[in-house]
Every structure is written in C-alpha cells, then in structure tokens.
Chains A and B, each alone.
Chain A
Amino acid sequence: MNPRQILVSLWTLVVKEVRRFTRIWPQTLLPPSITMTMYFIIFGNLIGSRIGEMDGFSYMAYIVPGLIMMSVITNSYSNVASSFFSNKFQRSVEEMMVSPMPNWVILAGFVLGGMARGLGVGLIVTVVSFFFTDLSIHHPLVMLGVVIMTAALFSIGGFVNALLAHKFDDISIVPIFVLTPLTYLGGVFYSIDMLPEFWQGVSMINPILYMVNAFRYGILGVSDIPVAGALVAIAVFIAAFFALALWMLERGKGIRS
C-alpha cells in the first residue's frame, strides 16, 4: 500500500470506531457522565466539605483530576476490548485480515478509536466538573501529554485483552478486578502521604498512581511523585505494549487458526 492508501485505510477504521461508540452513546458516553456526576455530588460536595483541604486544595478540586483520569482509563480500555472482541465474535475482523491493510494500521486504528472515546468521556467529565469547582490549569502541556499517553496505553491494553479473550467474560475481568482496584488505590481520592510508610511503598508499584499524579500536577501543580519519571515510564509502557500487541497480531494470536 502506498502512504495515501495507508492513510485512507487508517482513517476508515478510526471513523468506523468513532461511529460505533457515538451510535451507542447511551451505553458509552452517558453512563460515565452520570457516574462521575454522582462522585462529584457525593464525594466532592457532601463528604468533601467535611474532609476539608488536601495538599492545599478543596477536596472537590483535589479529586477532579483523578476522576477525569479514571474515566479516561476505563473508557479507553473497554472501548477497544469490547469493539475488537466483538469484531472477533462476529468474525468481521476477517474483513480487515483479507485486506492489504498492514497490521500496525489495524492496531493503530483501534487504539485511536479507543483514545477518541477515552478523551471524549474525559472531556465530558471535565465539563461536568466545572459545575462543581473552578479549575485553573497549571501545566497544560503536561496535562495534555499525560492524558493522551494514558488513553493510548490503556487502548493498547484493551486490544491485547481482546486478542487473548475467548468469551465476553474475558474482557470484563481486567477492568473489574485489575483496573478498578488499581485506580481506586492510585490516589484518586487521597494523597499517598496520608498512608502509613509501608502502604506508601506498596502504592509506588501501582502504575496508575503515576498517571493520576502526573495529571493532577498538570492541573493543580501538585504531585506525590516525580512527574518527569512518570512521563518516561508511560512512554516506555506504550512502546512495550504496542510492540507486544503488534507481535501478537503478526502471529495471528486469537484470530488465525
């Protein structure tokens, strides 16, 4: 394929993915908005007012970056996992396999689709948060860089999950049993300074802690961890997972007999 044809095929796949999640917006865009509004009302407003300040910010302002990040992570991941698995399940993945589209374009198309949903939901949650608190962004580039890279990383993760999955249950195991606990324990609702020293150490091996804190640094200018290290770590994870997903695709794991 020449570069123009590659671009056309990538664009086709991205548009198809975006069309998919916008067509079913009551399942993809509406629920996270409602859930996050509940978090803002209950944790931010009702409970937050009794908690007081955290790291010099109101509790509501403190949890907003974490909740935006939580939406981005879950939606990027589950979009690609469910879309690609559903392509496998309905065998429509064969449409791509018989075409001359390179494997990296297939992977990139799904990842960009997942990022579009993750970032779209993140934007909706951000807009909702304006009803509850005033946000002034301290480091816009850091904020954008972290959120885009995080969306990319979890989209690739969702793709790997879908390649390995044999049934629909297999694509909900990771979000429920891995992503949700790691996100909750990743400093969304609290600063790890509040934890005993041992649990602070344990928290440091949670990769989501770095993403949440780097994003919080971009918005509020405060972080529990060194931000530059977090950015490098996310970039390394993206490269490693992309290579893994591409290798699996080239080998036909889960899609070719």
Chain B
Amino acid sequence: MAEPALSIRGLTKVYGNGFHALKGIDLDVPEGDFFALLGPNGAGKSTTLGIVCSLVQKTAGKVSIYGIDIDRDFAKAKYQMGVVPQEFNFSQFEKVEDIILAQAGYYGMSLREAKPRCDRLLEDLGLWDKRNGPARMLSGGMKRRLMIARALIHRPRLLILDEPTAGVDIELRRSMWQYMRRINREEGTTIILTTHYLEEAESLCRNIAIINNGEIVKNTSVRDLLTELDTETFLLDLARPVDAAPALEGFEVERVEASQLSLGLRKGQRLNDAFAQLSAQGIEIVSMRNRANRLEELFVSMVENDNAASRPAKLADEEVAK
C-alpha cells in the first residue's frame, strides 16, 4: 500500500504559556488527495501545519511525509512539500522573480534548472508582467499567487495551503481554485488546505477533517459528511410581499423580510410539497438559493456540539481548581 502523503500520530503541542494547542491528534492524508482541514480560529489548524513544515516545534507525536519521519530526516521530508502560509512571508523589497528563484536556490536548484520552471509558474499564475517589479507593488491576490508560485518551484508532491484565498476577490479565488484543481488532477500533487470559506472546501476537496479545541472531531469524505446534514435552509424570493410567514404543514418557515422567506428542509422532505402549499396560499416564488453553504451548516453544528460537550468538563476542572 502506498505511503500516505501525510501521516500524523499523537501530535501534541503545548505552548510556553501552557496553552494546549493540539491534544494528540491522528491524521492521514492519502497520496493525490485534495484534503481540507477545517476549524474555527484557534482550533489548531495552523499549529498542525506549522509543525509539519517546521515553523512550529512539536511537544510530542510523530509526523511523516510520504513515509519520511521528520524526526529522522526532516531535510528529505521538506523536499516533498511546498508551503503557502496564511500571512505574507516574503521580502516586500525584492523582485517577484528573485523571490521565486531564491526559494529554488534554497532547495539546491541551480539557476539554469529553476529559471524555465519559474517562467512557467509566473505565466500560469498571471504574474509574468509583474516579474521584475518589487513584491510590495503587487495586489493582495497577486501576493498570494506569488506565494503559490514560490511553493511550487521545486515540484513538491505535497502542497500545503493555509487559507490561500483569504482576502481574495471572487473572480481571482475561482481562478486559483481552477489552478489548484489542475495541479491536483494533472500533476498528481496532493493538496492540503485550511480555509474559512467552506464553499471552497466543499467544491474542491474529497476528504475533510474538522479540528476543534486541538482535537480532530471529524475525519471523513466530503460526500459522507454531507449525508449527515439533517436540515438545509433555503431563501425564497417572493413575487409579492407578505405580512407574516405562511404556515406550511411539516415545514419551518420564517419571514426574513417582506419579500423573502426562509424554508427549512429536513432529510426526506421534498421541496415540491412546500411549493404546492405555498401556491395554494397564493404565494409565488421568483427565485431560491441556499441560505448558507451546506457544509457551513454542518460545520457550525458540529463545532457547537463539540464545544457544548467539552464545556461541562471544563467547568468541572475549574471547580476542582477552586
């Protein structure tokens, strides 16, 4: 059986101030996967990825990249991966092309070997015209793409993206998705991403892990995860305003505004039944959309349940401390 691209066992991180960022997590990311690591702020996503790429020191546990234990041969493991961090981490004064070529040099690639690859990445990521300008002159989206080009210069088998599309406009975000899909599909690059845009995870990723309070609370395929969704909420735009929410038998309906209703649809219920009842009451629907992304609803409910479950334990700890 092929070694997983990333294998994590019992990974623990306790920061100097005593904060337990990771509480012994286990995680496997298969080769060729497009994998999302989701979680609220402070859940432990960036700490996990920081340990994998050596920016954070682990307290305990094992991490292997394509079967290479980072404690045994971190240099060899580092060759396998490229990292796109959450925050810009390049010199703002250097030329765009120099930043990418310097990174190639750090991986031991000669200029002759790196230059054609760099040119290709600059073109693919729409940075060709900016290659001779200082990085500080780039827009936020271009800076993100520069970090992707830099991470890919040494042809890594595993690409780690920590919130790659944060602050990027929709058009650019979609073109970045397209590019990531392409390198995953055509070049077989395994991609792990953390994101706050759950639509992004649903659209791009095959597998997903949800981390909360330093623990993995779910690790499954996106498809399986979505089957767990009990309720979806739709927003219905009406042809004419209504004074109050109509009563529909078996459905939860709320009036969002005069010309908009929200409709809760549980597993097994059919939209047609709701529409029939609305038509019978003379309410005409013009258009309809999901109120929130489906994954987002599931994510919110999971994190809330997990927080609720851990709360009594925390309170009990505090009682003991008193």
Contact = CB atoms under 8 A, between A and B. Distances in A.
A60 B98 CA distance: 44
A95 B92 contact: no
Given A94-B85, A98-B83, A12 B91 contact: no
Interface string A100-117: 111000000000000000
B223 to A, nearest CB: 32
B241 interface: no
A92 B108 contact: no
A11 interface: yes
Q: Is the interface of A mostly helix, strand, loop or mixed?
A: helix
B145 interface: no
Given A5-B108, A6-B108, A95 B55 contact: no
B56 A9 contact: no
Nearest to B81: A98
Contact of B92 (A8, A90, A257): A90
Contacts of A13: 102, 105-106
B55 A1 contact: no
Interface in B152-171: none
B107 A9 contact: yes
B197 interface: no
B286 to A, nearest CB: 49
Contacts of A100: 74-76, 78-79, 106-108
A139 interface: no
Given A12-B102, A94-B55, A257-B56, A99 B107 contact: yes
Given A92-B91, A94-B89, A8 B105 contact: yes
Contact of A98 (B55, B87, B90, B93): B55
A140 interface: no
Interface in B65-83: 74-76, 78-79, 81, 83
Interface string B87-131: 111111100001100111111111000000000000000000000
A210 B53 CA distance: 44
B57 interface: yes
Given A98-B55, A102-B75, A12 B83 contact: no
B251 to A, nearest CB: 50
A252 B105 CA distance: 22
Nearest to B87: A91
A97 B108 contact: no
Interface residues of B, number: 35
A23 B93 CA distance: 10
Interface string A246-257: 000000100011
A16 B94 CA distance: 9
Contact of A16 (B92, B102, B110): B102
Given A9-B106, A12-B106, A99-B106, A256 B75 contact: no
A172 interface: no
A256 B90 contact: no
Contacts of A23: 93
Contacts of A5: 107-108
Interface in B1-51: 15-16, 50
A222 interface: no
A87 interface: yes
A13 B107 CA distance: 11
Contacts of B107: 5, 9, 99-101
Contacts of B98: 16, 19
A17 to B, nearest CB: 11
- Residue among A2, A5, A102, A252 with max Cβ neighbours from chain B (10 Å): A5
Given A90-B91, A252-B57, A96 B106 contact: yes
Given A8-B105, A8-B110, A100-B78, A95 B56 contact: no
Contacts of B102: 12-13, 16, 95
Interface string A51-84: 0000000000000000000000000000000000
Contacts of B92: 90
4 interchain residue pairs of minimum CB distance: A5-B108, A12-B105, A99-B106, A91-B89
Interface of A: 1-2, 4-6, 8-9, 11-13, 16, 19, 23, 86-87, 90-92, 94-102, 252, 256-257
12 contacts: A16-B98, A23-B93, A91-B87, A95-B89, A95-B106, A96-B106, A98-B78, A100-B74, A100-B78, A100-B106, A100-B108, A257-B57
Given A12-B105, A100-B107, 7 more contacts: A5-B107, A90-B91, A97-B55, A98-B53, A100-B74, A257-B16, A257-B57
